[in-house]
Amino acid sequence: MSEVLTFEDVWLEYGEKIVLERVTLGIAERSFVSIVGPSGAGKSSFLRLALGQEAPSRGRILLDGKPLPPECGPDRGVVFQRYSVFPHLTALRNVMFARECAGARFTARLFGGARRRAIEEATAMLAEVGLGDSLHAYPAQLSGGMQQRLAIAQALIARPRVLLLDEPFGALDPGIRQDMHRLILRLWEEHALTVLMVTHDITEAFKLGTRVLAFDKRRIDPHAPHRFGATAVYDLPLKTKLPLETPEVSISGITIDRISNNYQG
Amino acid sequence: MRWVNVRPNPRSAILLGALPLLIALVVYCFASAARHAANPADKVLPTPAAMMDAMHGLLVDTDPLSGQLIFWADTAASLERLGLGLGICALSALLVGMVLGALPAARATFGALVTTVAVIPPIALLPILFIVFGLGETAKVALIVIGVTPFLIRDLADHVAALPREQIIKAQTLGASSWQLALRVALPQALPRLIAGLRLSLGPAWVYLISAEAIASDIGLGYRIFLVRRYLSMDIIIPYVAWISLLAIVMDVALLQLSRRAFAWAHQDHR
């Protein structure tokens, strides 16, 4: 399978502080990559690099073999833990947003046939994520799980090459989270997606992923902990996934910052 | 039941709200009657009948000098100045506030200027405005604009700058350009905030209007009450003040209704 995203010896530094070092890996097309690691190990920084929100200080990132511009673009979709949808638009208008931006450069609003097609497409997308009955609801009227479904639909309609998920289910109740797991796996298969998902939940990582990356620091200098960056210390391809019904296990250690790598130098 | 748990239903809430106003009215009538009992020619607390009598002339009789119905001409002149001033405020604050909030470079350049203008007491600038613009309408409108706009700009710029970073990123991943981001994401979320800011600015705007009219004018609600003050005409001043507060309340309610109708999403309770 071909690689969609390629990281070649990527470093991310803020002045003295090294966040990521020597990250070299490729993301294969149609893979579902889970990223785990302790807080401050650069998981979210890694995602921001893939998103183009930040540029690496060394090395390069390729998208389909071409250098990634240091700006977010429609070839990468994203769902954050919160604030991913526009509060002033109904569910339908939220999903139509990408079509409207692409279809009308100046007004960002569609009319006539183009508008009808966009509405049809957005309605179908919303039905697919289970929001067929809430087309005209505003995000504030939707529950947390429904808002995340909306955010996913909104991202998918732009047909991104890579879908980036930043702890998308972290704020949801366990029962809702199971439903969301089923949904994202179904969409991943039906839309032939390539997914990068950052999560704090190890069970979730092994349930959903075809590959799990664990980010952490290889070495720690106790006197200058900020001088070593994190990288992918484990890269596990998964042949068999955990069954979806696996109960939630609380592994508290994963989020506890024992090596104080949040050091602000 | 504890007092903190006693909640009036909507109907009794209206009655409760009207009660203090009614009491104030009754107290005034008694005080006025008491003063008139002691001195039938009292001018400080005119009776309601005397006020109606005095206002009647202004409401329905044309002024022989100007050929106008004075009360309505005053109201129209004041509302025109206020509306023009607040309209200019809203438009310029929307434009500048959006630019300052959305573009960090613009904020760095003009933020200090806006803050400086905002801390100058506008009334202190009134002499300058009269010198520069003359004693006509422009100076009065300009005072409202200078008094209210910096507050609105700062409020709006802060609001736009505080939009969640996630929303801005998300819009870009959906293909939005800077212009589309401003038009479809920032502007709609700035508008209800602008209306809220305008509602808060109504009080100061009236203060500036009355001040400007009191100092140099020949028509207007503020001009009239400062004019008749010379004759101790409380029977005109009190109805005028009541009318001004009624106008202010109507404007406030109208803006609130506009915001509720046009931006229903902004008035939903957040979970």
Q: Strand, coil or helix: what is A33?
A: strand
Query: Residue A111 has what pLDDT?
Result: 85
Of the residues A104, A135, A159, the one at which a domain ends: A159
> A260 and A173 share a domain?
yes
> A26 and A154 share a domain?
no
> A49 and A149 share a domain?
no
Distance (Å, rounded) from C-alpha B150 to C-alpha A242?
A: 59
> A248 and A135 share a domain?
no
Contact across the interface for B176 and A97, Cβ inside 8 Å: yes
Residue A195 lies in a domain: yes
> A53 and A183 share a domain?
yes
> Which residue of A lies nearest to B180 if distances are taken between CA atoms?
A108
Q: Indicate the pTM of the whole model.
A: 0.83
Residue A176 lies in a domain: yes
Distance of CA B233 to the CA centre of its chain: 26
* Set of chain B residues whose Cβ sits within 8 Å of the Cβ of A147: none
Name the interface residues of A facing B (CB cutoff 8 Å).
51, 53, 71-74, 76-78, 80, 82-89, 97-98, 100-102, 105-108, 138, 140-141, 151, 154-155, 158, 160
Query: Residue A164 has what pLDDT?
Result: 92
Contact across the interface for A82 and B188, Cβ inside 8 Å: no
Collect the ranges in chain B with pLDDT lower than 70: 269-271
Which residues form the domain of A233?
1-75+160-265
Query: Residue A259 has what pLDDT?
Result: 47
The residue assigned the tokens 């947003």 is A97
Identity of the residue in B164, B176, B265 whose CB atom sits nearest the CB atom of A83: B164
Q: What is the mean pLDDT of each run of 10 residues along chain A (265 residues)?
A: 83 86 87 88 87 87 85 87 90 91 84 88 90 90 90 90 90 86 90 90 88 86 82 80 66 47 42
Q: Strand, coil or helix: what is A154?
A: helix
Distance (Å, rounded) from C-alpha A165 to C-alpha A44?
A: 10
* Set of chain A residues whose Cβ sits within 8 Å of the Cβ of B263: 88
> A182 burial class (0-12, 13-18, 19+ CB within 10 angstroms)?
exposed
The residue assigned the tokens 């009190």 is B238
Q: Are A209 and A197 in contact (CB under 8 A)?
A: yes
Tell me the CA end-to-end span of chain B in Å, nearest whole number: 28
Question: Does B3 contact A at CB distance below 8 Å?
Answer: no
Query: Residue A262 has what pLDDT?
Result: 44
- Torsion-angle region of residue B149: left (phi > 0), alpha (psi -120 to 50) or beta? alpha
Distance (Å, rounded) from C-alpha A85 to C-alpha A155?
A: 10
Q: Strand, coil or helix: what is A172?
A: coil
How many domains does one find in chain A?
A: 2
CATH code at A1?
3.40.50.300
> A259 and A171 share a domain?
yes
Q: Are B86 and B198 in contact (CB under 8 A)?
A: yes
Q: How far is A94 from chain B (nearest CA, A)?
A: 10
* Set of chain B residues whose Cβ sits within 8 Å of the Cβ of A154: 170, 174
